[in-house]
Chain A
């Protein structure tokens, strides 16, 4: 099975993606991760304004069969969370790189994003 791995963003070994637009880093989980988890039924996210350190746990995604921690790709303050996921967690399965995004971080350090895996490196990891 081939998984979608857009090359306009960076990835963590723990399967989160990070995409910067207008100075804000949007975060979600990869197509591979949502497929491994199966039906997502619950997402727990931080509050807006919370402060995160890179690689901190920031929340949890639960499917029917498994629970998985979520890790922050960069340090910074939570600028927004995707409240749609509280009522429709299945968006993570349906559109992991789009409507299924989880939060936005106002990054504290503009260089951290470059430390993450490229799409090619991530593809190699899940191969």
Chain B
């Protein structure tokens, strides 16, 4: 199957980006250097093309109920312009995907939602929504609009100033996780004070056909998936398919450290299984760690006790550009999860000392 491409594929190519396959999309991984791009986001501002993220639009008399029953968090708490992080779980409480749910302005006096599944999961998620809607006989329209909307993330301590400088109206009053339609450089964008880098900033969802022009209006460092990965690891944020994967590494939200997105007082697929897990506790959990010895932890490397007994696996790892230290995430038994615990990571056959750290590794905007 040919890879899907962002509306900015040609622009990125002209800019000299390197590309990689990600979730079935051909996306820029690096424009200048990961360190330069990472540094821009931590110290100034950078812009990411995240058009590979899915967009699913849900409206109708039963839209709230459908969203409530298929996401783990409590969507009934959302006022128009609010958003929330949530997990999509199966009957066993296993994370199928993580997502941000936005409540859009009502359409035809009906509650309306837009949620953002990860790259490559939009079709399956759309089918899941349709299938359950039909099974439960709910009155809701579910549209997969992934190919209609581009998405940019403008992130960094100066992100707000930059967006303000080209916005036709002020948006700096938006609080974290708040959003509204705003005109940015003449284009109406769903403008959300959200992001996945640990920094302040906005995510903009805008019509696919205006993407090139709007992108060009941002005079700042373009950033690729490489920097997005190092930034999100430093912020202790999960990467779908790596830090959880329903096929190869099935995990509950409690194991993955996102128990805060589980609203057990709501009814949703997986709720009963998760209530049981919440009561008994987890056996393993995701921890952050720093490698004390020299080396770089990578996805798939074994984690061991100091007696060389394998107890877990690295799910994400990198040399942190901000801390200039090798850091990673991985699942270990709860008895080894306490910050300060000494572990080891097997880096190409060599046992390297590591220490469990609290995450996020850096101060992040919450």
Contacts and interface: CB of A to CB of B under 8 A. Distances in A.
Interface of A: 1, 38-39, 41-42, 44, 60, 62, 64-65, 67, 86, 93
Contact of B33 (A39, A42, A67): A39
A85 B238 CA distance: 32
Contacts of A39: 33-35, 321
Contact of A62 (B16, B33, B230, B296): B296
A41 B322 CA distance: 13
6 contacts: A38-B226, A39-B35, A39-B321, A62-B295, A64-B34, A65-B34
A64 B35 contact: yes
B29 interface: yes
B226 A42 contact: no
Interface string B218-262: 000000001001100000000000000000000000000000000
A51 B348 CA distance: 20
B355 interface: no
Nearest to B298: A67
A42 B296 CA distance: 8
B34 A1 contact: no
Given A42-B294, A67-B298, A62 B34 contact: no
B296 A41 contact: yes
B154 interface: no
A94 to B, nearest CB: 11
B30 interface: yes
A64 B325 CA distance: 11
A92 B226 CA distance: 19
A39 B229 CA distance: 14
A87 to B, nearest CB: 11
Interface in B269-319: 294-296, 298, 318-319
Contacts of A60: 348
A60 to B, nearest CB: 7
A1 B29 CA distance: 17
A39 B34 CA distance: 7
Contact of A42 (B29, B35, B295, B321): B295
A65 B295 contact: no
B30 A62 contact: no
A65 B296 contact: no
A65 B16 contact: no
Contacts of A67: 296, 298, 348
B319 A41 contact: yes
Nearest to A93: B33
Contacts of A62: 295-296, 319
Contacts of B298: 67
Nearest to A64: B34
A11 B294 CA distance: 29
Nearest to B35: A39
Interface in B24-83: 29-30, 33-35
A38 B301 CA distance: 22
B231 to A, nearest CB: 11
A13 B209 CA distance: 43
Interface in B1-39: 16, 29-30, 33-35
